[in-house]
Amino acid sequence: MKRRDFIGAIAGATAATALTALTACGTESGSTQMGADCSPQKPIKWKMVTTWPKNFPGLGTGANNIAKLITEMSGGRIEVKVYGAGELVGAFEVFDAVSSGNAQLGHAGAYYWKGKIPAAAFFSAVPFGLTANEMNAWLYYGGGLELWQEAYKPFGLIPNPGGNSGTQMGGWFNKEINSLDDLKGLKMRIPGLGGEVLRRAGGIPVTMPGGELFPALQSGALDATEWVGPYNDLAFGFYKTAKYYYTPGWHEPGTAMECMINEKAFNELPADLQSIVRNAIKVANADMLAEYTARNQQALHTLLTKHNVQLRHFPDSVLKELKTISEQVVEEEAKQDALSAKVWASQKAFKEQVMQWTEVSEYTFLKARLL
């Protein structure tokens, strides 16, 4: 027998043996997951906890999308069940639940964990900072994600960008904001670094889960609130309790959401499932920004025409003062610990570089489009 005929015979025999084994296990159609001994393997069941109300548009459905993609892309080898805020754990207990392994995934905003990790807020939004596209660019191609992973490593967590709301709105108020003095004494729901800026401006920042905002506004426990943008704000019905809707969202110019993975659970997965989990989250990250871009104007039109909401722009003088305070706050926050300083140095350098391209490209075009 010639050498090439011998090799061909061996290859054919190997393929036939593999096919026989697959047929014996009933997996030739790929419909059944089998172990080495041909015994059926049960799907891996994961829990995802979130800081959002169950099925809440954009944020809650964004978490659902990640779960759906992981389940579908894995062919059902991983099944993810999503729990809204308060169903399994409270909204602000998500970090600890995933860190401890009580849940394998968590969908939230990193600025909620500023008390645990001072640097965390930089991975959500920085006042007058990066836009959504710039934030994704920094995370994926500017070293931001590696720093995020460094920050969460001691807690046994693997962070990932899990969506972006784009530029948010400035918030809902029952009085017009004509000067910085109008913010003094104002009890406003505003988290993260933006909350500290409000405090310096004389306001009273409050951190509160989304599901509690409407009754707090209604009862007077809050004087004002920011949440996300028209798509989400319409769903919460803020127009029923507040008269003025302000733009822009200076405090959150491109807010990144996060999808945390319990490191131990992730490391127990085979390499192909690890890749599926990471890439499912990456797909959902891009999808959320597209959805917000599509839905926000539709919702804003409804707010203005059906509910007679009064759209207001923060005066330039107010924005300039808030920007000055923001710069001071961010620099001071960055000095809290070595990691915060490292993260801000990276993001600041990236912002100074990327904003030049944003101005040359998008900003210049947007001005031209309005001619």
Extended beta strands in the chain, E state: 44-50, 78-83, 105-108, 157-158, 161-164, 171-173, 187-189, 204-206, 224-225, 244-247, 256-262, 310-313
Whether 329 shows a pLDDT value over 50: the answer reads: yes
**What per-residue confidence (pLDDT) applies to 33?**
53
Which residues touch 326 (CB under 8 Å, ≥6 apart)? 127, 128, 193, 197, 250, 251
Q: What is the DSSP letter of 362?
A: I
pLDDT-derived band at 41 (thresholds 50, 70, 90) equals confident
From-to residues of CATH 3.40.190.10 in the chain: 171-253+307-369
Quote the percentage of the chain above a pLDDT of 70.
89
Q: If you average pLDDT over every residue of the chain, what do you get?
A: 91
Is CATH 3.40.190.170 correct for 44-163+255-292? yes
Q: How do residues 66-86 score in pLDDT, each as one tens digit? A: 999 999 999 999 999 999 999
CATH 3.40.190.170-classified regions of the chain: 44-163+255-292
pLDDT, one tens digit per residue, over 256-315 is 999 999 999 999 999 999 999 999 999 999 999 999 999 999 999 999 999 999 999 999
The answer to whether residues 254 and 279 touch, using CB atoms and an 8 Å cutoff, is no
Q: Report pLDDT for 30.
A: 40
- What Å distances lie between residue 188 and 100, 149, 216, 226, 298, CA to CA? 32, 31, 10, 8, 26
φ, ψ (nearest 5 deg) of residue 177: -105, 100
Hey, CA dihedral for 334, 338, 340, 346, is it positive or negative? positive
- pLDDT at position 116, please? 95
337 CB neighbour count, 10 Å cutoff: 13
Evaluate if residue 166 carries a pLDDT over 90: yes
pLDDT of residue 4: 44
Per CATH, which fold does 171-253+307-369 belong to?
Answer: D-Maltodextrin-Binding Protein; domain 2 (3.40.190)
Mean pLDDT over residues 153-174, rounded?
Answer: 97
Check residue 153 and give its pLDDT.
98
Q: pLDDT by residue (tens digit) across 9-40?
A: 434 443 444 344 444 444 433 444 544 445 45
**Which of 6-15, 137-146, 227-236, 318-327 bottoms out in mean pLDDT, i.e. has the lowest?**
6-15
What is the pTM for the complete model shown? Answer: 0.88
Please give the average per-residue pLDDT across 199-207, as a whole number: 97
Question: Rounded mean pLDDT of 250-255?
Answer: 97
